[in-house]
Structure 1
Amino acid sequence: MTEKFEEKTISRDVIYDGAVVHLVRDKVELPDGREAFRELVFHRGAVGIFAVTKEEKIVLVRQFRKALEKSILEIPAGKIEEGEEDYQKVAEREFEEETGYQSQEMNLITSFITSPGISNEKLYLYEAKDFHQVDNPLPQDDDEFLEIVELSFSEAEEKMATGEICDAKTIYAMLYWQQRIEGQK
């Protein structure tokens, strides 16, 4: 089936083929017959982990994000490596690497495309339940420097208002948490 808004690829130039992203520049034919260019980022995908402690605090990590030139708070997350097909196992690994927690139950909440205007990156959002600190957790990635931060819902809302929480996956997790809180009332 052809969509009436479909853009047909005329040609593709590979700009960069990296370890994390694959960047291309496509020449496309628009629905009205004109031509345009699209710069696209292809990504294997990622997982994010929403976790709330028994004390009703969301587990976050603070890390420096070079693209923003600042540190932000976000839910634990990580990229899917080449050949990984069991995304729940990826979520379990990333949760332990980034927080030192192991979860007895990891459930898929949803998946979504993070920035469809330029990228195909799909993020799988999981909820960690019944988790505990482990004595010898998996090590963090060599180039990762993280601080674990646990915040109440109202504290996290304040961090959203100040922009310290500003990424889509964490805001999505916060909305999920808010919906769950309101559903319990």
Structure 2
Amino acid sequence: MTFTTADVEIIQRDTAFQGFYRLDVLRLRHRLFAGGWGPELRRELFVRHDAVCVLPYDPVRNSVVLLEQMRIGAIDKCDNPWMIELVAGLIDTDEQPDEVAHREAEEEAGLQLRELIPITRYFPSPGGSNERVHLYCALVDSQGVGGIHGLQEEGEDIRVSVWPLDEALAALEQGRIDNAASIISLQWLALHAERLRQAAGVGQ
């Protein structure tokens, strides 16, 4: 049996909060695997713009560009809320994901993306948020990349570093890199780095 959105009935939907993000309260019910309709449910939905995340990879140097910045979502759950993560940004209504990727790479890391390779699209927390992430790997020249970047008017304070791929994968294994987009993209790159290096003329 395959369900669609037609198998969910929205009884009522109200906006409880509207700021940079939005919180909606829904009353709904949905069809059941055993047949018929389930009971009425009340659910809160965190409404966000979709996001773009990019792992910049230099196939010649076999290195990745990673960012560090403070993330409010981590302050209650770990000793160090400065996350090691990817270039990332939210999609405005009139933008395409690839446009966001190029813009954010320049703003957050001073990077020019040579080629953008789609990895996947996914919902990071569909139990309570409608955000969908567009995940990419981008080929770059990492020579001279680094330093402090970000837009001052947005309060960004981003440290940019170039990591040998082996060191980034070790940090992943050690749990130092612990956010979903970074984990997924580095695992993808571990599988595909040799192919990308060969295509760049530097693979074994």
Using the size of structure 1 for normalisation, the TM-score is: 0.83
Amino acid of the structure 2 residue aligned with 1:105:
E
In the TM superposition, what are the counterparts of 1:67-78 in structure 2 within 5 Å? 67-69=73-75, 70-78=81-89
2:131 equivalent in structure 1: 121
Amino acid of the structure 1 residue aligned with 2:191:
Q
In 1, Cα distance between equivalents of 2:109 and 2:10: 43
**How far off is 1:5 after superposition?**
10
1:58 equivalent in structure 2: 64
Amino acid of the structure 2 residue aligned with 1:18:
G
Amino acid of the structure 1 residue aligned with 2:134:
Y
Size of the aligned set, in residue pairs, is 180
On the 8 A contact 2:57/2:140 being kept in 1, the answer is no
Amino acid of the structure 2 residue aligned with 1:89:
E
In 2, Cα distance between equivalents of 1:162 and 1:131: 27
Q: Which runs of 5+ in 1 are unaligned?
A: none
**How far off is 1:118 after superposition?**
1.3
The 1:35–1:26 alpha-carbon spacing in structure 2 relative to 1, beyond 3 Å, is same
In 2, Cα distance between equivalents of 1:173 and 1:68: 20
Amino acid of the structure 2 residue aligned with 1:43:
R
On the 8 A contact 1:100/1:134 being kept in 2, the answer is no
**How far off is 1:61 after superposition?**
0.2
SS of the residue 2:112 aligns to: strand
SS of the residue 1:102 aligns to: coil
**Quick check: 1:168 aligned with 2:173?**
no
Aligned-residue RMSD, C-alpha: 2.7
On the 8 A contact 2:54/2:136 being kept in 1, the answer is yes
1:14 equivalent in structure 2: 15
In the TM superposition, what are the counterparts of 1:1-185 in structure 2 within 5 Å? 3=4, 6-19=7-20, 21-31=21-31, 32-53=37-58, 54-69=60-75, 70-84=81-95, 86-131=96-141, 140-142=150-152, 143-181=155-193
